[in-house]
Amino acid sequence: MSTKNLTLIIVLVVILLFGGCACSRYNGLVTSDQGVKTSWSNVETNYQRRTDLYNSVIKVIEGSANFEKSTLKEVITARSKATSVTVDVNDSNSLAAYQRAQGQLQGSFSRLMAVAEAYPDLKTTQQFQNFQTDISGTENRINVARRDFNSQVQEYNLKVKTFPSNIFAGMFGYHEKPYYKADPGTENAPDIHFDIK
Residue 185 zone, left/alpha/beta (φ > 0; ψ -120 to 50; rest): left
Q: What is the mean pLDDT of residues 176-192?
A: 69
Rounded to whole angstroms, the Cα distance separating 21 from 25 reads: 6
Name the pTM for this structure: 0.78
Q: What is the mean pLDDT of residues 4-31?
A: 83
**Selected residue with higher pLDDT from 132 and 184:** 132
The whole-chain average pLDDT of the chain stands at: 84
* pLDDT at residue number 196: 41
Say whether pLDDT at 183 is over 50: yes
Nearest Cα neighbor of 112 from 50, 61, 65 is: 61
Q: Which amino acid is at 156?
A: Y
Within 13 Å of residue 147, how many CA atoms lie on the same side as its CB? 6
- Find which of 26-35, 57-66, 112-121 is predicted with most confidence, using mean pLDDT: 26-35
DSSP string across 76-124: HHHHHHHHH----TT-HHHHHHHHHHHHHHHHHHHHHHHHHTT-HHHHT
Res. 186 pLDDT band, cuts 50 70 90: low
Q: What angle do CA 128, 134, 73 make, to 5 degrees?
A: 55
CA-CA-CA-CA dihedral for 188, 137, 89, 108, to nearest 10: -60
Say whether pLDDT at 19 is over 90: no
